[in-house]
Structures are given as structure tokens and as C-alpha cells.
Amino acid sequence: MIKGLYEKGQKMALVSRTDAPPIGKRMLELLDWNQYFPYQEIYPGKKTTHFAKIQKDSGIAYSEMLFFDDEHRNIRDMSAVGVTCLFLKEPMSQEVLDRGFDMFAKGLSDR
């Protein structure tokens, strides 16, 4: 799924508020995912801080971003600034990804 998005030219970012950034970064290396995520914000803090850095580095407006997360507080914070958000009630899958793209196209967002 990730490789397919990358091959279609989708710009992807990875954000995590982990308390163990070195472990998170090592996982990306082991999975060989660094190539797919040019924007990575992996450190403790608010998602608003993570996204502000991604927006600054990428030049992509919040209104052009799609965000999947399993924490309501992150969905609430990011939808408030215009990011299309999908709350994950189940593991990420192609079906969930398609639902997110559909919501984005319709201008909808979980709150």
C-alpha cells in the first residue's frame, strides 16, 4: 500500500509523538520505509507542532493533507486547522485508505 502510493507520486509524511524517537527511526530503517516518507516528525509533542513543521518543509497547505490517526485528540486538533482527518477504528488497510481519499474528495473530516 505504501509503496503503491509512493509510486503514484503521493507525498507522504510520518508523524509520531513517541517517547522513544531512536526506536521509531530504527523501525523505519528496518522496514526500509525512509524512502517513502520524505517528511518525518518523530518526537514527543503535539500533532499541531509536527504538522506545522511538515507544512513549512513541504509547502503543502493543511487543506491538501489527509491524516489517519487512532487518537481522538489528534483528529480534533488537526481537523480544527483544516486537515482532512480519518479516525482509525480498525487497522490501516486499502479499504480504510480508500475511505480517507473519498472523504478528502468530498471535503469531509472526522472531528
Residue 7 in any domain: the answer is yes
Q: Mean of the pLDDT values across residues 21-42?
A: 97
Domain, as residue range, for 11: 1-46
- For the segment 55-90, what is each residue's pLDDT rounded down to a tens digit? 999 999 999 999 999 999 999 999 999 999 999 999
d(CA 51, CA 67): 10
- Is the Cβ–Cβ distance between 4 and 27 less than 8 Å? no
Same domain for 33 and 66, yes or no, is no
C-alpha cell at 10: 503521493
Same domain, 13 and 41: yes
Per the domain annotation, does 101 fall within a domain?
yes
Percent of the chain with pLDDT over 90: 95
Confidence bin at 27 (pLDDT 50/70/90): very high
User: How many folded domains does the chain comprise?
Assistant: 2
Confidence of residue 14 (pLDDT cuts 50, 70, 90): very high
Cβ neighbours for 65, distance < 8 A, ≥ 6 positions apart:
51, 54, 55, 83, 84
36 and 66 in a single domain? The answer is: no
> Using CA atoms, how far apart are residues 72 and 95, in angstroms rounded to an integer?
20
What's this model's pTM, rounded to 2 decimal places? 0.91
Q: How far apart are CA 46 and CA 87, in angstroms?
A: 17
